[in-house]
Amino acid sequence: MRGRYCDLLRRSAGQAGNILCVGIDPPGDLARATELVQSLLAALQALAAGGKHVAAFKPNIGYFHALDRPREGDFDGSRLLATTLDALEADHPGVPVILDSKRGDIARSSENYAIEAFSGWRTDAMTASPWMGDDSVLPLAGSAPERGEAGVYVVARSSNPGGARFQQPQEVVAAVMEWRRGAPGLGIVLGATAPQELRQTLEQILSSRESAGGGASGGAAAMPVLIPGVGQQGGSAEEVMTILKETGYPRELVRINLSSGI
């Protein structure tokens, strides 16, 4: 058992000396995807051997499942994900693995999605959609007692252009702060491609914590934040770091994800 997710984030950031999350989204057919994953794992292993580490990994389940052909009895994509997770666990102990699956459904279904992520794939965290509300998100955070306080990143503002049409990050964050009273591993996703909303939302979290007396637990605590969208999607890592510095957000709880740029 890894224990509390926020503690895992703090330890891994301290070990790595950075807050970089490496996304693993292998495109192409099985042969090409396998080649890319193997090359990435070898490079990461070489860096670790030289004392250089990253602070998280985020495999996107859709890229791996797209390689399966279940009705033909072919699960090579799922096997590639399994061997990838095995390698990450063996070569990078203590580094959190976030399953990018963006689950969220009625309560019973969400419970099964949590079992998929935390018992099936044995990851430390997962991503989730808040669209269906409390009884959709909370089962994701509460269905993995063997993993301690599991991490669940709720999408508040995604990095894709279309996200602006429906997503209201301030409302999502208010709900997540409420939910965190019973599930302190909950956090949010905030895209680097919406820097003004990123700044405002981080300030909202810190303001809520201060108004609650600076508490270190429950909804009043600073929460984990996953920031995708830097690099080819148009977000700037430098701008994100400036926002984190200027707002004073605890950087050890933040992970800046780089996927396609890897």
196: exposed, middle or buried (C-beta count within 10 Å: 0-12, 13-18, 19+)?
exposed
Torsion of CA 246, 248, 251, 253, to 10 degrees: -130
Long-range contacts of 241-250 (CB under 8 A, 24+ apart): 243/195, 243/198, 243/199, 243/202, 244/202, 246/199, 247/199, 247/202, 247/203, 247/206, 248/206, 249/202, 249/205, 249/206, 249/222, 249/225, 250/222
Residue 158, C-beta contacts closer than 8 angstroms, at least 6 positions apart: 167, 189, 191, 228
Q: Are 152 and 185 in contact (CB under 8 A)?
A: yes
Catalytic residue among 52, 58, 102, 245: 102
Residue 218 φ/ψ region, left for φ over 0, alpha for ψ in the -120 to 50 degree band, beta for the rest? left
**The length of the chain, given as a count of residues:** 262
Residue 255 φ/ψ region, left for φ over 0, alpha for ψ in the -120 to 50 degree band, beta for the rest? beta
Query: Is 245 a catalytic site residue?
Result: no
List residues bridging with 21 in a β-sheet: 56, 257
Residue 94, C-beta contacts closer than 8 angstroms, at least 6 positions apart: 8, 11, 12, 15
Catalytic residues: 102
